[in-house]
């Protein structure tokens, strides 16, 4: 899940985009990039690493201009090399830069057509580079020295006809303006904000509203599924529905784990959704286990805290912080390899023994995906002297791959895939395991003014809203993107780099 941001302002945007990326850092820790434009010239800095490491003072000074876009990356396609950091750039037509959150499900077919028919060159295996080239190819049909707003929207209509999958995009056309668009199902989030300046209105697009809050922009609305917006350099906003409005099905995993709790996505407060997840989980525990013997509810920091507070309150059991998190270690789940993920859990979390000693503890997490966190945490709780260790997940079992921008490509790596809840409990070592029901999760995220009635629940249900996901697609994805396949590619990459240096 990447984070994207774009700003058209009346003063330099470099620091503002940097600040926005720091609050979107939880969406991608592998690479970061910013591109700005000043008097028709582009300034780009991108590299692997966290925002604070990628941009030094000298880079910031060089990022001139009142318009720009930024990206933090968590790879879901291609590889994790710096060459695939975003934003991407193509010089023809007009000069276009693009940052993408999501995953195209027909990227390889598109790449073939781009090379064979559109005569375009692709330099990486990134699906985002494919998306940029589809946009460039369609925009080159405009045929005029400067694309009109109508040309931009008609190019986007063609992009929607060609591209499948999940995508929220910010793009910048040199000397012209900022484009934002979102896939026809609205799987990936994109929100529009506005701020008044002495010289006129300023606009911002971002993955999450928290980035608007930080910069003093007011949340105007979410970009609608299949809609495109264009803001020219003078600060005029244009919007058009470019793909037939389908059913809006935002990714439910944003509410479970990805988004910050202080964000509002599709008019749904992530914080409130997580509170309701806690309420419904507590109700289920009460229903199926009325004579439980839980002494204390303990969250697994960070994301599960909101739900855990509610579980404790509704069950009338005390809440205790039993794990202390090292604030300098990032999110484990979005780290690239299993070895790194497993090591990080232990170095990230430590126990306060006295909260466990002699007690029956109920540990709460927002989700169990590979089981990396839960298995280690349960061991820690036992070592700390817990009598019984129960575990509850605020989300249902994750049994199916995600193909829309979350890197869960291989069913075989998901601890609940093909297993019953009892089997998962045995594997992670829990005395009892309780999962949220999917209908309850959906209820927790819905509310009457949100205008969202359905969600992309594919990793829980195996139902893919784009309708193009076949067993052979999933088999190919697994063979290309499992941890094992990625590690093999990294080795080859390392060797090839050595070979180049040796020459
Ligand atoms: O079953 P797993 O494969 O371990 O994945 C699930 C865990 O990963 C995430 O935590 P993470 O450390 O990434 O982030 P957080 O600090 O926001 O909870 C999530 O909150 C779960 O704790
Ligand atoms: N997590 C994402 O949104 C990833 C975007 C894009 N597919 C990439 O791998 O760079
Ligand atoms: Mg966690």
Q: What is the 3-state secondary structure (H, E, C) of 435-457?
A: ECCHHHHHHHHCCCCCCCCCCEC
pTM: 0.95
Stretch 16-43: mean pLDDT: 97
Stretch 54-63: mean pLDDT: 97
**Lowest-pLDDT range, 258-262, 341-345, 348-352, 361-365?**
341-345
Say yes or no to pLDDT of 422 above 60. Answer: yes
Annotated binding site for Mg(2+): 303, 365-366
Query: Per-residue confidence at 312, pLDDT binned at 50, 70, 90?
Result: very high
Give 374 Cα–ligand 1 centroid separation in angstroms.
Answer: 9
Q: Which residues pair with 388 in a beta bridge?
A: 360
Q: Is 4 in the pocket of ligand 2 (CB under 6 A)?
A: no
Strands in 131-226 per DSSP E:
165-173, 177-182, 191-197, 200-206, 218-222
Give 259 Cα–ligand 1 centroid separation in angstroms.
Answer: 13
Cα 108 to Cα 311: distance, rounded to the nearest angstrom: 45
Q: Is 210 in the pocket of ligand 1 (CB under 6 A)?
A: no
Ligand 2 atom closest to Cα of 84? 10
pLDDT tens digits along 245-283: 778 999 999 999 999 999 999 999 999 999 999 999 999
Q: Is 373 in the pocket of ligand 1 (CB under 6 A)?
A: yes
Say yes or no to pLDDT of 412 above 80. Answer: yes
Cα 322 to Cα 381: distance, rounded to the nearest angstrom: 9
Among 373, 393, 433, which is best to mutate for testing ligand 1, by the most ligand atoms less than 8 A from CB? 373
Say yes or no to pLDDT of 499 above 50. Answer: no
Q: Is 407 in the pocket of ligand 1 (CB under 6 A)?
A: no
Overall size of the chain counted in residues: 503
Q: What is the DSSP letter of 257?
A: I
Q: Is 402 in the pocket of ligand 2 (CB under 6 A)?
A: no
Query: Per-residue confidence at 340, pLDDT binned at 50, 70, 90?
Result: confident
Q: Domain 270-326+340-454's class? A: alpha beta
pLDDT score for 502:
40
Q: Which residues are catalytic?
A: 2
Stretch 58-72: mean pLDDT: 98
Q: Taking the domain 2-246, which CATH number applies?
A: 3.60.20.10
pLDDT score for 492:
66
pLDDT score for 329:
87
Among 24, 29, 128, which is best to mutate for testing ligand 2, by the most ligand atoms less than 8 A from CB? 128
Residues of the chain with CATH 3.60.20.10: 2-246
Say yes or no to pLDDT of 490 above 80. Answer: no
Tell me the angle at which helices 270-288 and 438-445 cross, rounded to the nearest 10 degrees.
150
Give 3 Cα–ligand 3 centroid separation in angstroms.
Answer: 19
pLDDT score for 80:
85
pLDDT score for 144:
85
Percent of the chain with pLDDT over 70: 97
Q: What is the overall mean pLDDT for the chain?
A: 94
Query: Per-residue confidence at 496, pLDDT binned at 50, 70, 90?
Result: low
pLDDT score for 1:
79
Residue with the smallest CA separation from ligand 1 atom 9 is: 333
Q: Is 127 in the pocket of ligand 2 (CB under 6 A)?
A: yes
Could you count the other beta carbons within 10 Å of the beta carbon of residue 197? 12
ipTM of the complex: 0.98
pLDDT score for 357:
98
Residues of the chain with CATH 3.40.50.2020: 270-326+340-454
pLDDT score for 463:
97
Give 291 Cα–ligand 1 centroid separation in angstroms.
Answer: 30
pLDDT score for 500:
41
Cα 166 to Cα 182: distance, rounded to the nearest angstrom: 8
């Amino acid at each position: 899940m990447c984070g994207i941001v774009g700003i058209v302002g009346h003063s330099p945007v470099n620091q503002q985009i940097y600040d926005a990326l720091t609050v979107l850092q939880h969406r991608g820790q592998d690479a970061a990039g910013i591109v700005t434009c000043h008097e028709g010239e582009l300034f780009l800095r991108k590299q692997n690493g966290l925002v604070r490491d990628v941009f030094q003072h000298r880079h910031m000074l060089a990022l001139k201009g009142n318009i720009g876009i930024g990206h933090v990356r968590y790879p879901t396609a291609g590889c994790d090399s710096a060459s695939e950091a975003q934003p991407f750039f193509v010089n023809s037509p007009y000069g276009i830069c693009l940052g993408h959150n999501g995953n195209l499900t027909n990227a390889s077919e598109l790449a073939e057509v781009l090379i064979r028919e559109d005569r375009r060159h692709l330099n990486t295996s990134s699906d985002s580079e494919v998306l940029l080239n589809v946009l460039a190819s369609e925009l080159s049909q405009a045929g005029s020295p400067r694309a009109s707003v109508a040309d931009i929207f008609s190019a986007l209509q063609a992009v929607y006809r060609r591209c499948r999958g999940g995508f929220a995009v910010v793009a910048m056309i040199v000397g012209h303006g900022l484009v934002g668009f979102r896939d026809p199902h609205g799987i990936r989030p994109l929100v529009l904000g506005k701020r008044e300046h002495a010289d006129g209105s300023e606009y911002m697009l971002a993955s999450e509203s928290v980035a608007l809050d930080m910069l003093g922009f007011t949340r105007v609305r979410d970009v609608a599924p299949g809609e495109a917006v264009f803001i020219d350099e003078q600060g005029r906003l244009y919007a058009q529905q470019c793909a037939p409005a389908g059913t809006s099905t935002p990714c439910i995993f944003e509410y479970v784990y990805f988004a910050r709790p202080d964000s509002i996505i599709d008019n749904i407060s992530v914080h409130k959704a997580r509170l309701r997840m806690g309420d419904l989980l507590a109700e289920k525990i009460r229903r199926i286990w009325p004579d439980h013997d839980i002494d204390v509810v303990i969250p697994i920091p960070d994301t599960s805290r909101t739900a855990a507070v509610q579980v404790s309150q509704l069950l009338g059991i005390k809440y205790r912080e039993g794990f202390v998190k090292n604030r300098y270690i990032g999110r484990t789940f979005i780290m690239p390899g299993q070895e790194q993920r497993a090591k990080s859990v232990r170095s990230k979390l430590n126990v306060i023994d006295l909260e466990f000693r002699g007690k029956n503890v109920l540990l709460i997490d927002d989700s169990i995906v590979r089981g990396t966190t839960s298995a280690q945490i349960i061991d820690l709780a036992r070592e700390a002297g817990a009598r019984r260790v129960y575990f509850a997940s605020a989300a249902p079992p994750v049994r199916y791959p995600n193909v829309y921008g979350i890197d869960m490509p291989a069913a075989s790596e998901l601890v609940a895939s093909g297993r019953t809840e009892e089997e998962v409990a045995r594997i992670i070592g829990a005395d009892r395991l309780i999962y949220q029901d999917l209908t309850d999760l959906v209820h927790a995220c819905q509310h009457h003014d949100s205008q969202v009635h359905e969600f992309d629940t594919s990793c829980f249900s195996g139902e893919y809203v784009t309708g193009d996901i076949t067993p052979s697609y999933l088999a190919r994805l697994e063979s290309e993107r499992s941890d094992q396949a990625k590690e093999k590619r990294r080795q080859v990459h390392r060797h090839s780099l050595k070979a180049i240096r040796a020459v």
